[in-house]
Structure 1
Amino acid sequence: MFQEFYSLRLQENCDVDNLLTPEFNAEQVNLRSPARAVVTDFSNVDPVTVNETMAVDDALERMKNQHVRMLFVTTAAGKFTGVITARDISGSKVILYMNNHGVSRPEVQVGHIMINKEQLHSLTYDQVQHCRIGDIMLTLKNSGDQHLLVVDETELGIKRVRGIISASDISRKLKLSFEVMYEAKSFAEIEKIVTQGAKIPL
């Protein structure tokens, strides 16, 4: 049964002192880096989804379990209809829905307070392939969005969500908040902050 396999030689670990962490393995990025470096690409990772009929507090628990702050909302047939964020559930949206419809919190479903796909903005995958992180940051600043969908099209002409870009992911990768970027007076100043961790002069 095992004739086609062979046993590997095991190693001693007495001289191994370090653990690799994502911090050291991560691609170093800056504002001129390709935008694809900040895309969560669903050809590599599965989108975290939730059914539109799920109770909002169950959806929040799903976020916590999956270590995400946003879920893609789908119908029973698996069709994409929108997104829901932790802020949507923890903020005033649920209370407003309860008051307006005379229901209790357990009766509030994801579909009642989600952000419909028609309210979301997107970029094409082709656009993302040909732009830089700085272009994305400026786009987010001008639109006021926290997330941008990335959409592609199959050979049969079927449009689909290929990925997502998150303002918080960009801030984490650049170690730079959007607030700091907006306060900077020049691109050179932003670059200095990203590369050297310098502070903005008052």
Structure 2
Amino acid sequence: MSQEFYPLRLQDNCDVEHLLTPGQKQQPFSVNNPAIEVMTDFSEVVPVTVTEGVSVDDALERMKSQHVRLLFVITLAGKFVGVISSHDIAGHKVIVHMQNHGVTRDEVAVGHIMLHKQHLRSITFDQITHSRIGDIMLTLKNSGDQHLLVVDETEIGIKRIRGIISASDVSRKLRVGFDIMYEAKSFAQIEKIITEGRDLVI
């Protein structure tokens, strides 16, 4: 059975004067917004990965080319084993490994300095869907973590990394500095600066 199509009614644009930009589409971020709004969802965005044996400098170049500051580390078989950040590579970890093992920088691989998955904390996707950004901020503040993995489970019980939340993403989207996020005595203070768009003096 064939489906019928119909022409749409056209209109003029004499009274249209404004162009929408991406930043205008969303309502201003608030601590009361759904937490899922600050999660990088791997059902929509492909996670950027690197294998354990890649040199740290090659990993850093991959970060730059992909415009990310964190890579998910996988084995050659594609199994998730940890994460590595630009801070890990630029910080003291590489130098310590070089000194302890008597190797050059070229010999330092991602697997030598990555943060193993057993040292990463996670929350479930179900928790995210029932939480607000303020809940995430409080979680990050209490744990001291810079990243939280979000884990879901398939119908047959296979656990997988569904996404990630980073403190820097929360800070950027709320337009609130790390110092304010972690030092503010209440969400009322944070909400005030978000609303007024100015720096808060603690």
TM-score band, normalised by shorter chain: 0.7 to 0.9
Q: Equivalent residue for 1:168? A: 168
Q: Is the 8 A contact 2:60 2:86 kept in 1?
A: yes
Report the equivalent of 2:53. Answer: 53
Unaligned runs of 5+ in 1: 1-15
2:98 alignment partner, SS class: helix
Distance in 1, Cα, partners of 2:84 & 2:19: 36
Matches of 2:201 and 2:54, distance apart in 1: 48
> Partner of 2:71 in structure 1?
71
Report the Cα distance in structure 1 between the residues aligned to 2:151 and 2:130, rounded to whole angstroms.
14
The answer to whether the 8 A contact 2:148-2:164 is kept is yes
| Structure-1 residue corresponding to 2:39 | 39
Alignment of 1:174-185 (within 5 A): 174-185=174-185
SS in 2 for 1:195: helix
Q: Secondary structure at the match of 1:61?
A: helix
Distance 2:173 2:40 in 1: 12
Task: Give the 3-state SS of the residue equivalent to 1:28 in structure 2.
Answer: coil
Q: Structure 1 residues 182-191 or 167-176, which shifts more?
A: 182-191
Which stretch shows the higher mean deviation, 177-186 or 26-35?
Answer: 177-186
Q: In the TM superposition, what is the alpha-carbon distance from 1:27 to its structure 2 partner? A: 4.5
In structure 1, the partner of 2:123 is: 123
Of 90-99 and 19-28, the range deviating more from structure 2 = 19-28
- TM-score of the pair, normalised by structure 2: 0.87
Partner of 2:193: 193
Other structure's SS at 1:36 match: helix
Closer/same/farther in 2, CA of residues 63 and 155 from structure 1, 3 Å limit: same
- Report if aligned partners of 2:38, 2:169 keep a CA contact under 8 Å in 1: yes
CA deviations on 1:118-170 (whole Å, 9 max, x unpaired) are 00000000001101100000100111100000000000100000000000000
Give the equivalent residue in structure 1 for 2:110: 110
Aligned-residue CA RMSD in angstroms?
1.8
SS of residue in 1 equivalent to 2:82: strand
d(CA) in 2 for partners of 1:183, 1:109: 36
- The Cα shift of 1:21 comes to 4.2
Please report the TM-score for the alignment, with normalisation by the length of structure 1: 0.87
| Amino acid in the other structure paired with 2:24 | F
Identity, in percent, stands at: 66
Change (3 A) 1:50 1:201: closer
Give the direction of change, closer, same or farther, for the CA distance of 1:104–1:193 in structure 2 (3 Å limit): same
